[in-house]
Structure 1
Amino acid sequence: MSTAAPAPPRHPLDGLPQLADYQDQPAQQPAGAVGKDAYLRLGFARRGERTVLADLHRRAPLLVQQALYFDEGMPDLPCVFMISTSGGILQGDRYAVDITLDPGAQAHVTTQAATKIQQMDANYATMVQDITLAAGSYLEFLPDPIIPYRDSRYASRTRLCVAADATALYAEILLPGRKHHRDGEIFAYRLYSAAVQGVRPDGRELFAENLVIEPGTWPVDAPGLMGGYHVLANAILMTPPETAARVAAQAPVGHTGTGDDRTATGISVLPNDAGLIYKVLGMETEPVRAQVRAFWSVVRREVTGNEVPDNFRWR
């Protein structure tokens, strides 16, 4: 495995307009200092019938130990857990993640637990993700939910560079905060900003989505926004048009359940034959995760011909 890595960009989100009001430095340690400037590089390559984690570089507090092969539906699929050694994302943190799949490679990337954006009284945190898929490759990027704590400020940018015949399933689940903590923290964070861009390897831009939530400025649960729901899932599928059409025909959409188990789901076609975008609204985490899992099941079956394994008993 590689032990050297080029330096990632120096905090490219620092100039975002929505972060202008949060430029004060944390009293504990300056933004982006050692221990707050995390970097993770994962490179997957095909070796015979199996894909391996051929390139790994990590800088605390981000950590990956090794690829595991426990998926009964795809036993040759490397499953990688991204780990944070800091217990969450803190004020002044600057994270960067690069994931690359060589031709024909396949991988599943997730997190060890929910991403907790800790309470903040100064500055902000950022995450930059660059994900590149070469011809014929397949990636499932399915991290656990994101939980923004009270007064947190967080901005992310994800760039999906996907070959025309490759498939990337990228999903995020955003909670309203620590909903059941003490008297509840529902939409008590200051800022959540998430931008996703899809491009081809030749640089051609396919689509862009920019989600900016500022609960103190706009009522998040208003009609046309969350509409009374608390949990949002956003899944982006970049895949060839014929695969996208098959997935769209089978994806679960509409309203399901009642009370806290109710969900609302919808699907749209991305511009420029890039694929699909699938969104889920719900009151609680598990019903939303179940809908994302159902969508993932359709994607894996249509792209690889394999089934998603049963949930672990503790999930």
Structure 2
Amino acid sequence: MIPLDAAPELAPYLDEPAQLPGGAPGKVGLLRLAFEQRGGRTVLADLFRQAPLLVQRALHWDAAMPEMACVFVISTSGGTLQGDRYRIDVSLGAGAWAHVTTQAANKIQAMDANYATQLQRISLAEDAYLEFLPEPTIPYRHSRFVSHTAVSLPTSATVLYADILLPGRKHHRDGEVFRYDLYSCTVRAARPGGPGLFVEKYVVEPARFGVDRRGVLDDLHVFGNAVLLTSAARARRVAEQVPPVWDPDVPLVAGVSRLPNDAGLSYKVLGRETEPVRARIQEFCAVARAVTVGRGAPSVFAWR
């Protein structure tokens, strides 16, 4: 894997902060989560954490899936800062079920030097099931953030991954809609020890290439991106239950597409405000869960 610091879009932001250089002690957040099935339910068998990333313990609060371990990733800082380098490793043993989310939105703080990165590595064994559903990302004015998520799973396992990107703090002072410098997101998947399945990357640089144009986002501000990695048969059943949406009154558009190499599905949602986009992502996740593991969504979903 190419190091995140080598991403070409970071070339204009290689200057170091005046306070602490990038990746200095206190700016490297590490988190390792390993889940295993024991005694009919999933437990957090291994945990390593280094501030500002923190997980306290696994809970079993999902009434629809009481066997599933649920964890909240907590940040002990005031958000993601310039020079921060985060890494999160998540692994699931055979038959393990886990839900990973965050305690609040990921606030990418304003930056006057350097950038922040987050690397996520996800590995599943046979028949494992993972919901990786963090709260939305809010990039502040002049922030620069690069994330890379790499997933390895066999055909019998399922990963449900989603993120929501906001345009900034819309109602802060004079507004921060698309005032950030850079947001780059890459998601890739592969079979264990085998070929790659797909790579999806989008780079948003509002000052260089305006996104509020027709053919890009136009007058829509919130982008929801969900990826379902599962068997071809299950993906087909999910796609049949998720029709495209065009609602000019909200406004909101959404649609599902098939990923290459029978990897699964990609579901994209665009809207003016956060909650309608969140609701569509939740609906997609509920259908995906019902098809892949035969369980309903909880009455109060992880995204409140």
- Cα shift at 1:16: 1.2
Alpha-carbon contact 1:252-1:294 (below 8 Å) kept: no
Matches within 5 A, 1:82-231: 82-231=73-222
Q: Which residue does 2:283 correspond to in 1? A: 294
Question: Equivalents in 2 of 1:241, 1:286: separation in Å?
Answer: 30
- Deviation at 1:82? 0.4
2:142–2:180 CA contact under 8 A, matched in 1: yes
State the 1:98 CA deviation. 0.3
Is the 2:130–2:160 Cα contact (8 Å) retained in structure 1?
A: yes
Residue 6 of structure 1 is matched in structure 2 by none
CA distance in 1, matches of 2:247, 2:130: 28
**Alignment: residue pair count:** 304
Name the CA distance, whole Å, in 2 between partners of 1:201 and 1:171.
22
Find 1:19's aligned residue among 3, 10, 15: 10
CA distance in 1: counterparts of 2:10 and 2:137, whole angstroms? 19
User: Among residues 258, 264, 278, which one is paired with 2:267 in the alignment?
Assistant: 278
Whole-Å separation in 2 of the counterparts to 1:162 and 1:314: 25
Give the match's secondary structure for 2:101: strand
Cα deviations across residues 33-86 of structure 1 (Å, max 9, x unaligned)?
111011100000000210000010001100000011111111111110000001
Q: Distance in 2 between matches of 1:196 and 1:280?
A: 17
1:313 CA drift (Å): 11
Report if aligned partners of 1:165, 1:239 keep a CA contact under 8 Å in 2.
Answer: yes
Distance in 1 (CA, whole Å) between partners of 2:302 and 2:202 is: 33
Structure 1 Cα separation of the partners of residues 200 and 49 of structure 2: 28
Answer yes or no: is the 8 Å Cα contact 2:85–2:117 preserved in 1.
yes
The aligned counterpart of 2:235 is 244
Instruction: Provide the residue aligned with 2:23 in structure 1.
Output: 32
TM-score (structure 1 length as normaliser): 0.94
Q: Which residue of 2 aligns with 1:5?
A: none
Instruction: Detail structure 1 runs of 4+ shifted over 3 Å in the superposition.
Output: none
What RMSD in Å do the two structures reach over aligned CA positions?
1.5
**Unaligned segments of structure 1, at least 5 residues:** 1-8
Deviation at 1:226, TM superposition (A): 1.2
Percentage identity across aligned positions?
A: 57
SS in structure 1 of the partner of residue 287 of structure 2: helix
How far apart are the structure 1 equivalents of 2:301 and 2:129? 23
Q: Distance in 2 between matches of 1:298 and 1:256?
A: 20
Shift of 1:312: 6.3
Asked whether the equivalents of residues 207 and 271 of structure 1 are also in contact (C-alpha less than 8 Å), the reply is yes
**Is the CA contact (8 Å cut-off) linking 1:252 and 1:291 kept in structure 2?**
no
